[in-house]
Amino acid sequence: MATIAVPLGGQAEGHQADAVQRPALSEYLRWSVDHKIIGVQYGVASFLFFIIGGAMAMLIRLELWTPELDVMVSGAAYNSLFTMHGTVMIFLFIIPMWAAFGNFVVPLQLGAKDMAFPWLNAFAFWLIPPAAIVVLLGYFVTPAEAGWTSYPPLSTLFSGDGQTLWALGAHLLGISSIMGSINFIVTIFNMRPPQMTLWRMPLLCWAVLATSIIAVMATPFLAGALTLLLLDRVAGTTFFDAAGGGDVLLWQNIFWFYSHPAVYIMVLPGMGVLSEVLSVHSRKPVFGYRMVGLSSMGIAFVGFTVWAHHMFTSLQPELRIPFMITTMIIAVPTGIKMFSWLGTIWGGKIRFTSAMLFALGFMSMFVIGGITGVMLAALPFDIHVHDTYFVVSHFHFVLFGGSVFAIYAALYHWFPKITGRMMNERLGRIHFAFTYFGFLFTFFPMHIVGMLGMPRRVAVYDEAFANWNQLISFSAFVLGFSTFIVIYNIIRSYYRGPVAGANPWRALTLEWATTSPPPVTNFADDPIPFEDPYGYGTEASVAYLNAVEAAFDGRENRTILD
């Protein structure tokens, strides 16, 4: 094997054989401008909201165990419950959870010492707890009952003060999201090392860039809509009241102009995670790297042209076909990613780690969510299953089968970097099995009951759907149980997991070319990235990885056959 000189830059200096202490837990409870601390703060807070939103989901499924109303005191109470479930999961769990991984990983992948605006970064995070308190407080006042979409007149004439608090909280969360996204865009454009051109940037960074562009351009529309909603609720205006010259469809247009792109805010980072995990754990370069990066941008762009498919049943007939077409077009860049992932793992040396299992789980589930998305884009079918459980199934396949599986993949992949410890792989596989099958049997049967006509957002339903709902509820409880496994694994691994070392997965991106956890300034000096972030299987990459291991962990060199 040829001798290859690997200029690691300053990555190794000062860190060799020195274990970096993990921050004290109290550090995470304080104001900090360190992107790694903020990343963990986002992650832990979001996971807590996941547990809260998940508990609400369990209550929903308990209520639906029988066709009668037996857990909730009224249909209105059930409405409030699913309203809060959706709100918590979308605004307080998935979106901030991606900010967690983005914050921790992106500056490291770029070889930066921190984000472009550290203070703004901390401020964006610390807006979330008060926003969450305001939103959750609303549930205990006179709760919002209009669903997470908050359509007027349900959200203006038929919801209590909780709806006002909901809108205030969502406003704060939107501001937080915009500030965080500005930070990501500036960091990605300005903080890369000179050797890292855009076309040598890790695909997670591409995905976060596309996500952030969506967030900064779409979230202000939500801010506009929420301002009008608040004015209608507290200042007596009539923007959404036809009796006062207003228009209820106005809300739907503005809300979905944000909220459909928001689906990609929730999914695109997961797609970036997938490109990272699949490549590393199958030891193969990403297939069609440039097309994957461009497809993220394509999704971001086309995502702004599809919002009215959420309004097919209320839309002017002449606008239905154009929106049907744009909705179907968005399957193209998504399909490019799917082909890329298949091409990436094809013929690879696949290691079925927990991260890899969840990434593969994402692929299988997201394909189903994508196909049902194309089905729903077809106008006649959409009208047939409008407001049924088919729609509930579709968006859970996208947002749980997509986002949550990717979040778990990211957790297992980067936990060693964040904490310096490996997660327990056996528990990880058990967690995957419970999650995969729990999820599949919860949400796949919803397609069937939906097509049979079971409406969504009801606590009382036809006796004919009882057996299906018992299967769904039982599976949902299995899915709920799976969360305890990962919580146990996280806590156990944090204290007793094997020491990870700098680069346990032998990955080529820069976050693995520093200690685990990284020091305060991430790198001792300006790091020099490897020429190709996914260039596995070459002598150069093996030499680079050996140099990293020798520098940080003192291990002996391996060959390309390892």
Partner 1 sequence: MMTSYVDRQEKPKIGLDRDAALRLKNNRLGMTIFQASWIMVFFAIIVVNWQLRFSYVQWPPAGVAPFDLLLPSIATLALLLSALLARRGWAGLRRGRLGEFLASWRLAIFLGVGFMAIIVYEFATVSEAALATQYGITLRLMTGFHFVHALAILAVMLHVYRGAGAGAYRGGEHDAWAIEGAAKLWYFVAVAWILFYVVLYWIR
Is residue 264 within 8 Å of residue 181, measured between CB atoms?
no
- Work out whether 189 is an interface residue with partner 1 (CB under 8 A): yes
Dist CA 419 CA 537 (whole Å): 28
CB 252 within 8 A of CB 151: yes
Q: CB of 4: closest distance to partner 1 in angstroms?
A: 6
CB of 173 to partner 1, least distance (A): 15
Query: What is the spatial distance between Cα 228 and Cα 549, in angstroms, rounded to a whole number?
Result: 56
**Among 144, 210, 228, 399, which residue interacts with partner 1 (rule: CB under 8 A)?**
228
Examine residue 216 and tell whether it contacts partner 1 (CB under 8 A): yes
d(CA 189, CA 207): 13
Closer CB to partner 1, 149 or 237, in the complex: 237
Q: 342-363 burial, b if ≥16 CB within 10 A, otherwise e?
A: ebbbeebeeeebbbbbbbbbbb
Interface mask toward partner 1 for 105-144; x: CB under 8 A = -----------xx---------------------------
User: Hey, which residues does 455 pair with through a beta bridge?
Assistant: 388
Span 243-272, contacts to partner 1 by CB under 8 A = 244-247, 249-250, 253-254, 257
When asked if residue 531 is in the footprint of partner 1 (CB under 8 A), the reply is yes
The dihedrals phi and psi of 453, each to the nearest 5 degrees, come to: 115, 10
- Separation of alpha carbons 497 and 506, rounded Å: 18
CA–centroid distance for 196 within its chain: 26
Cα separation, 290 vs 402, in Å, equals 22
Q: Is 554 left (phi over 0), alpha (psi -120 to 50) or beta?
A: left
Length in residues, the chain:
562
CB atoms within 10 A of CB 520: 12
> Looking at 99, 108, 144, 218, which residue binds partner 1 (CB under 8 A)?
218
The reply on whether position 182 binds partner 1 by CB under 8 A is yes
Q: Does residue number 225 form part of the binding site for partner 1 (CB under 8 A)?
A: yes
Residues 193 to 212: which contact partner 1 by CB under 8 A? 194-195
CB-nearer residue toward partner 1: 185 or 448: 185
Give the shortest CB-192-to-partner 1 separation in angstroms: 10
Could you say whether residue 149 binds partner 1 (CB under 8 A)?
A: no
Given candidates 292, 407, 528, 542, which one binds partner 1 under the rule CB under 8 A? 528
How many residues touch partner 1 under the rule CB under 8 A: the total is: 47
Question: Among 22-30, 74-82, 216-224, 461-469, which window interacts with partner 1 (CB under 8 A)?
Answer: 216-224
- Considering the complex, what minimum distance in angstroms separates the CB of residue 232 from partner 1? 10
Beta bridge partners of 388: 455
By C-beta, is 83 or 181 nearer to partner 1? 181
304, exposed or middle or buried, with CB in 10 Å at 0-12, 13-18, 19+? middle
Does 315 interact with partner 1 (rule: CB under 8 A)?
A: no
**Sites of contact with partner 1 (CB under 8 A):** 4-7, 9, 116-117, 178, 181-183, 185-186, 189-191, 194-195, 216-221, 223-225, 227-228, 231, 237-239, 242, 244-247, 249-250, 253-254, 257, 526, 528, 531, 540
